[in-house]
């Protein structure tokens, strides 16, 4: 990689982090507004739930975006480590298969 692409990758990460921070702040503001409106009893229970669900989702999405800056890369790494762990753990390395008819398949160690 040359220096330009590294700077560009850093810039994209900075933009994502800034967007995640703003998303978290917006979610917290909506959460606080929902609590205030519910405390003042200005809305019905159904309206309060309708306000709280998107506010909670926005806040959770912002926190997740702050904690995991590149979810696609994290997913790929997790998948790779899972495949490596499955390859290392082989519970039955040499299984003898004795078949008696179509229904009776027996695995022996």
Average pLDDT value for residue range 50-73: 89
pTM for the model stands at 0.56
Q: Residues 21-57: pLDDT tens digits? A: 999 999 999 999 999 999 999 999 999 999 999 999 9
Average pLDDT value for residue range 7-14: 59
Query: Cβ atoms within 10 A of the Cβ of 12, count?
Result: 12
pLDDT at 72: 80
Average pLDDT value for residue range 12-27: 84
Separation between Cα atoms, residue 23 and residue 17, nearest integer Å: 10
* In the chain, where the domains are located: 1-71
Average pLDDT value for residue range 59-87: 86
Given a cut of 90, whether residue 16 has pLDDT beyond it is no
Q: What is the share, in percent, of the chain residues with pLDDT greater than 70?
A: 70
Strand stretches in the chain, DSSP E: 96-100, 104-108
């Amino acid at each position: 990689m040359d220096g330009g692409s590294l700077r560009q990758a850093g810039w994209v990460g900075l933009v994502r982090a800034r967007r995640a921070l703003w998303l978290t702040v917006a979610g917290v503001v909506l959460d606080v507004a929902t609590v205030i409106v519910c405390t003042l009893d200005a809305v019905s229970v159904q309206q309060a739930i309708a306000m709280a669900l998107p506010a909670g989702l926005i806040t959770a999405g912002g926190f997740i975006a702050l904690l995991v800056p590149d979810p696609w890369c994290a997913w790929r790494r997790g998948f790779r480590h899972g495949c490596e762990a499955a390859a290392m753990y082989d519970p039955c390395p040499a299984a003898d298969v004795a078949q008696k008819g179509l229904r009776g398949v027996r695995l022996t160690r």
